[in-house]
Structure 1
Amino acid sequence: MSAQAEQHYFVPQPSKWPLVGAFALFFLGLGAAFTVNGVGFGKISLAIGFAILLYMLFGWFGQVIRESESGKYGHQVDLSFRWSMGWFIFSEVMFFAAFFGALYYARVISVPELGSLSYKLLWPDFNAVWPTQVAPAGVEGYRPMEAWGLPAINTLILLTSGATVTWAHWGLIKNNRTQLVAGLFLTVVLGMLFLGLQAYEYRHAMHEMNLTLSSGIYGTTFYMLTGFHGAHVTLGTIMLAVMLFRSMAGHFKPDHHFAFEAAAWYWHFVDVVWLILFVFVYWL
């Protein structure tokens, strides 16, 4: 990093990428609205939106990577990146807090209240236990998901992946490129394994346990929390895969590697969310 970059805050030139992103969001929103309402152009619009979004992501992030690797970013830019990633993760914490709050409300407040004497005249056969077993009309009963099967295996996988990404970070700090690449590769493989097992779990739950989104409040909260977490694991795996390819290309230095740190922060966040989810969704 040059001395000039350390002393001066980098100000980029006017960029086309925010405008490109606006077009991507426009086509995605339009396509989603049309698709939900059965309009034929909806899927085409969605495809156009995703294509523009991918073009923007590759172009914008590629520009940032080139600027970083050329030494244009100094301490102030690094600090801005750290604050930005910190606030982003905080927003994700609030995102999951809302869903865990919904689960808490259903289990601790709604279900006991519906089982109280005040509601016995309306629902005399309702049993105030979790998971609720009163299915909507026309919907067959379901079996709840057990904790000590695939969920426990996936917990072990994610905990191991947290250790491998930390091992990779230690390798980067020690300037051990082999350890860095090996640790990232193992973490990406473990992330993909987690997603594969979760997909198998969903298939088993839907076809053999009759556990679907229509399975009352239990089914809704189960798929809402595990599904959104799976989406975050997917994003984290993609981020770590990019870090792997960059590491193989010789990017990152022991004293200049915030992109790697940001991906590692996000992955540790995903790990912590899963531990909370495993306890309150699967175990208790």
Structure 2
Amino acid sequence: MSAATQHGHTPYYFVPAPSRFPVMAATGLFFVIFGAGQWINGADWGKFLVLFGLLFWAYTMQGWFRQAIGESEGGLYGDRIDVSYRWAMSWFIFSEVMFFGAFFGALFWSRLYSIPVLGSLQNAILWPDFKAVWPSLQPGATASPAGTIEPFVTMGPWPIPTINTALLLTSGVTLTLAHHALIAGKRGLTVGWMWVTVLLGVLFLGLQGYEYYHAYHELNLRLDSGIFGSTFFMLTGFHGFHVFVGMLMLLFITIRIMRGHFTPQRHFGFEGAAWYWHFVDVVWLGLYVIVYWF
């Protein structure tokens, strides 16, 4: 949503012309899912189909967003479009809350219910050697008497997770400073704080990549390390993906600000990306406390 439109000079509600982009986006995702399904089932050509689908989908998205930006900067978006964008972003973030809620729920269920039940007296006969201890309380306890899971060491909160927490919290501050600078009409200062925010996001991703390398090669903590390994990598991995997406959002918003888009009065494109980034920060705080400390 750009700032180029002014109240009273735009249509009450903008109805776009028929577009090919929704069908193209769905086609790209079809090739991604179909190729991934073939790939994991042993068909080596599936990875090329996944790559094609991702490239086709990315091409479609850039064209779609370019068209929306052009409509916005062309003065076609009025107040009703602004409201629709705000509702759309709000519901999108709500769906992301439910997405992460499912993984947090799996973590709580396995830790607080499944493991104690498996270690109860009534299951002692069926599994006498089972250790009803969550791995973070006893590093290396895989509760696998059959040896199906190799011993591993859990990931502690220091130093990388704590440093990443500081980076994300700092990025939230710099993003807020950029927002205030934009409202004050200080475009140069806004661009500066935005670049700092993008850099902090890149540093977070780099440290998380090193953390994964450390987990696999030094701690023997992998995705197949039982329920602890699967929940750890699914939660932190999907969060890292969301950081990557949020960083791209902020990067493109920064480029738009440098090109003169947005005004102090109307800049929901900026605000929507900021909402998403703050949501990512909040999710990480939950991960930091529950996954790394508890």
- TM tier, smaller: over 0.9
Match 2:177 to one of 149, 167, 192: 167
Q: Deviation digits for residues 240-270 of structure 1, max 9, x if unmatched?
A: 1111111111111111111110100000000
Between the two structures, name the one with larger relative contact order (CA 8 Å, sep ≥ 6). 2
> What corresponds to 2:31 in structure 1?
27
Question: After superposition, what is the alpha-carbon deviation per residue over 1:153-192, rounded to whole angstroms, capped at 9, x for unaligned?
Answer: 1111100011011111011100111221111101110001
- Whole-angstrom CA distance in 2 between matches of 1:215 and 1:35: 22
* CA deviation after TM superposition for structure 1 residue 30, in Å: 2.4
- Alignment partner of 1:204: what SS? helix
User: How big is the shift at 1:213?
Assistant: 1.4
- CA shift, 1:35, in A, is 1.7
- CA gap of 1:127–1:35, structure 2 versus 1, over 3 A, is closer
Q: Residue 5 of structure 1 contacts residue 73 of structure 1 at CA under 8 Å; is this kept in 2?
A: no
Asked whether 1:39 is paired with 2:43, we answer: yes
Deviation at 1:36, TM superposition (A): 2.2
Q: 2:115 & 2:280 partners in 1: Cα distance?
A: 29
Identity of aligned residues (%): 54
Q: 1:176 aligns with which of 183, 186, 189?
A: 186
The CA distance in 2 between the partners of 1:3 and 1:166, in whole Å, is 26
- Counterpart for residue 72 of structure 1: 76
Alignment partner, residue 288 of structure 2: 278
**What is the DSSP-based 3-state SS (H/G/I as helix, E as strand, rest coil) of the residue aligned with 1:255?**
coil
8 A contact 2:152–2:221 mirrored in 1? yes
Among 265, 273, 276, the residue aligned to 2:275:
265
Note if contact 1:143-1:211 (Cα within 8 Å) is conserved in structure 2.
yes
Residue 18 (structure 2) aligned to one of 1, 14, 17: 14
Equivalent residue in structure 1 for 2:266, among 247, 250, 256: 256
* TM-score, length-scaled by structure 1: 0.96
Residue from 81, 85, 88 that aligns with 1:81: 85
Report the CA distance between 1:4 and its aligned residue: 4.5
Cα offset for 1:142? 0.7
Match of 2:269, as an amino acid? Answer: A
Q: Tell me how large the CA RMSD over aligned residues is.
A: 1.5
Aligned partner of 1:133 in structure 2 is: 142
Q: CA deviation at 1:3?
A: 4.4
**Residue type of the alignment partner of 1:266:** Y
Q: Which amino acid aligns with 1:133?
A: T
Q: Give yes or no for contact 1:158–1:194 (8 Å, CA) kept in 2.
A: yes
Question: TM-score normalised to the size of structure 2?
Answer: 0.92
Paired residue type of 2:52: I
Q: 2:257 aligns with which of 241, 247, 250?
A: 247
> Residue 24 of structure 1 contacts residue 49 of structure 1 at CA under 8 Å; is this kept in 2?
yes
| Aligned equivalent of 2:201 | 191
Q: Measure how far apart 1:52 and its partner are.
A: 1.4
Please report how far the alpha carbon of residue 47 of structure 1 lies from its aligned counterpart in structure 2 after TM superposition: 2.4
* Equivalences for residues 110-149 of structure 1 within 5 A: 110-131=114-135, 132-135=141-144, 137-149=147-159
Gaps of at least 5 residues in structure 1 are none
2:142 and 2:150 in contact (8 A); partners too: no
What one-letter code is carried by the residue in structure 2 that aligns with 1:240?
L
Say whether the 8 Å CA contact 1:147–1:282 is kept in structure 2: yes
Query: What one-letter code is carried by the residue in structure 2 that aligns with 1:193?
Result: L
Measured after TM superposition, the shift of residue 43 of structure 1 is 2.6
Tell me the CA shift for residue 273 of structure 1. 0.3
User: Which of 228, 243, 251 pairs up with 1:233?
Assistant: 243
